[in-house]
């Protein structure tokens, strides 16, 4: 963003009135603060505290933000008094964060939220999904494979939405690759997503859901109608013959190896 700074006023806005954050745990708070400093923000607006401790009814217009980017924790527990801060009561911290994000956005504000894919279908999240669809335009859902976040052991999705108008259609994109610690997700892996998302085009990996077809459960599960599934049309006897042939080949190789080591 430095190339956009044209004046002292621009510099002050970037330093003081652009980036905000809050972290509950001590070590991530320190890491977040240091990261901001290393990237040129000399006095980061990162506070040490519990985001969920804020009562949603007390959020003022001056508290709201234009853009929210977040990866709320998977699982976790909160004290009973914290649960009272939310219109929709839940023990799942990620669902509390979703309510917080919706409330904290200004009208026209945009958000990109990484969350477990179970949010799209779990029954205990249906009321929050309905809140999201009614108050925001959930225009894009990016479905990620399980290897993207090393150690998390869960599949995640990224929700992109704009506050101020209800959702009519949702464009899905499914990243159909396998990632590991040694083969992580790269920018190149997202090129097709970024290209197709501009027009929300359909492809083997992307499709559109009409929200008017949903029932009261508001199930947003990832169901790709464009992916061609390979069907094995062999009969049971043909499959059995193939297995026997492979076993015979394996036995021949084993016999050859045994002859070599004698």
Report the pLDDT value the prediction gives residue 151, as an integer from 0 to 100: 60
Per-residue b or e along 21-42, where b marks 16 or more CB atoms closer than 10 Å to that residue's CB = ebbbeeeebeebbeebeeeebe
What's the pLDDT band for 227 if we cut at 50, 70, 90?
confident
pLDDT tens-place string over residues 140-194: 999 998 878 766 668 899 999 999 999 999 999 999 888 888 888 889 999 999 9
Least confident of 7-21, 108-122, 145-159, 176-190: 145-159
Contact criterion met (CB below 8 Å) for 93 and 70: no
Contact criterion met (CB below 8 Å) for 176 and 144: no
What's the pLDDT band for 104 if we cut at 50, 70, 90?
very high
| Full-model pTM | 0.82
**Does the pLDDT at position 233 exceed 70?**
no
**Does the pLDDT at position 239 exceed 80?**
no
Least confident of 28-32, 54-58, 256-260: 256-260
**Does the pLDDT at position 198 exceed 80?**
yes
The count of residues in the chain is 262
**Does the pLDDT at position 108 exceed 70?**
yes
Report the pLDDT value the prediction gives residue 237, as an integer from 0 to 100: 80
Report the pLDDT value the prediction gives residue 126, as an integer from 0 to 100: 95
Report the pLDDT value the prediction gives residue 73, as an integer from 0 to 100: 83
């Amino acid at each position: 963003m430095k190339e956009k700074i044209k004046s002292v006023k621009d510099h002050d806005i970037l330093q003081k009135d652009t980036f905000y954050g809050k972290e509950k745990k001590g070590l991530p708070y320190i890491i977040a603060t240091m990261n901001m400093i290393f990237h040129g923000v000399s006095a980061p607006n990162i506070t040490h505290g519990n985001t969920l401790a804020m009562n949603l009814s007390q959020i003022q217009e001056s508290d709201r933000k234009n853009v929210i980017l977040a990866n709320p924790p998977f699982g976790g527990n909160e004290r009973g008094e914290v649960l009272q801060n939310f219109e929709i009561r839940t023990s799942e911290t990620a669902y509390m964060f979703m309510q917080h994000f919706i409330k904290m956005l200004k009208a026209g504000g945009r958000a990109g939220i990484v969350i477990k894919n179970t949010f799209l279908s779990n029954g205990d999240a249906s009321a929050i999904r309905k809140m999201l669809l009614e108050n925001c335009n959930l225009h894009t859902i990016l479905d990620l494979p399980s290897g993207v976040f090393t150690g998390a052991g869960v599949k995640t999705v990224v929700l992109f939405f704009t506050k101020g108008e209800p959702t009519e259609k949702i464009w899905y994109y499914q990243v159909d690759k396998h990632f590991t610690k040694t083969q992580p997700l790269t920018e190149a892996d997202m090129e097709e997503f970024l290209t197709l998302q501009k027009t929300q085009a359909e492809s083997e990996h992307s499709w559109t859901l009409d929200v008017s077809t949903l029932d009261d459960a508001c199930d947003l599960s990832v169901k790709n109608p464009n992916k061609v599934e390979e069907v094995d049309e062999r009969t049971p006897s043909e499959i059995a013959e193939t297995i026997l042939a492979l076993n015979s080949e394996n036995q021949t190789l084993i016999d050859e190896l045994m002859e070599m080591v004698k």
